[in-house]
Chain A
Amino acid sequence: EPEVTQTPSHQVTQMGQEVILRCVPISNHLYFYWYRQILGQKVEFLVSFYNNEISEKSEIFDDQFSVERPDGSNFTLKIRSTKLEDSAMYFCASRTNGNTIYFGEGSWLTVV
């Protein structure tokens, strides 16, 4: 079964550093998402991306965050200057024109 794959699975970074989380969505999918889950809290929507542009974003997705689909297969989330409170599991997800969203295994980011 096709999967959404994410790298790295774990990353530890110092506060203020830039981080790029990478995702390869399922190949025929058109809509792409980033969600995050802070330890012990609910899964929160960050951003959705369609047709090479952001279609929706949450309040969490401020100017420190950006997304890109640089080459037609990867979908990246960049955090420009990480803060301690950015420590979370970041999930990439994708879907076709259907309504079921498929999630990757997550990238665990720890900011120290």
Chain B
Amino acid sequence: AQSVSQHNHHVILSEAASLELGCNYSYGGTVNLFWYVQYPGQHLQLLLKYFSGDPLVKGIKGFEAEFIKSKFSFNLRKPSVQWSDTAEYFCAVSPNNNAGNMLTFGGGTRLMVKP
């Protein structure tokens, strides 16, 4: 079974600071990787995803993530955060086996951006 770890539970940044949220996973096979964002009071929204190819993927709102296979990591980055990025961020993994593609989520990282 796969598992996902997000080591930063709470992050507080000032506007314009750079962001990097860590995500590590464990799984014996090939995986699909996702970052979802949950703004206060809203549902989970897909930020970006990696299935194959270029390990650096760009998502919406200036976010990007890099898949480093050797480190089992898929860290999320943004060079300059805004107050509107305040949200909870979830890393998720699903096995790339074309079956149910069950998502396993990390525990989430709450980001607060101070204006």
Contact = CB atoms under 8 A, between A and B. Distances in A.
B49 A99 contact: yes
A75 interface: no
Given A91-B43, A105-B42, A42 B102 contact: no
Interface in B81-111: 90, 92, 94, 96, 99-108
Interface of B: 32, 34, 36, 42-46, 49, 51, 90, 92, 94, 96, 99-108
Contact of A95 (B42, B44, B92, B101): B101
Interface stretch (A11-19, A43-51, A65-73, A77-85): A43-51
Nearest to A106: B43
Contacts of A31: 100-101
Contacts of B100: 31, 48, 50, 55-56
27 contacts: A31-B100, A31-B101, A42-B105, A42-B106, A42-B107, A42-B108, A43-B108, A44-B105, A45-B104, A48-B100, A48-B101, A55-B99, A56-B100, A91-B44, A95-B101, A99-B32, A99-B51, A99-B94, A99-B96, A99-B101, A100-B46, A100-B49, A101-B34, A101-B94, A101-B103, A102-B46, A103-B44
Interface of A: 31, 33, 35, 41-45, 48, 50, 55-56, 91, 95, 99-106
Contacts of A56: 99-100, 102
For the complex of A and B, the 3 pairs showing the least CB-CB separation, nearest first, are A105-B43, A48-B100, A43-B105
A45 B103 contact: yes
Nearest to B4: A42
Contacts of A91: 43-44
Counting chain A CB atoms within 10 Å of each CB, the highest count among B32, B34, B102 belongs to B102
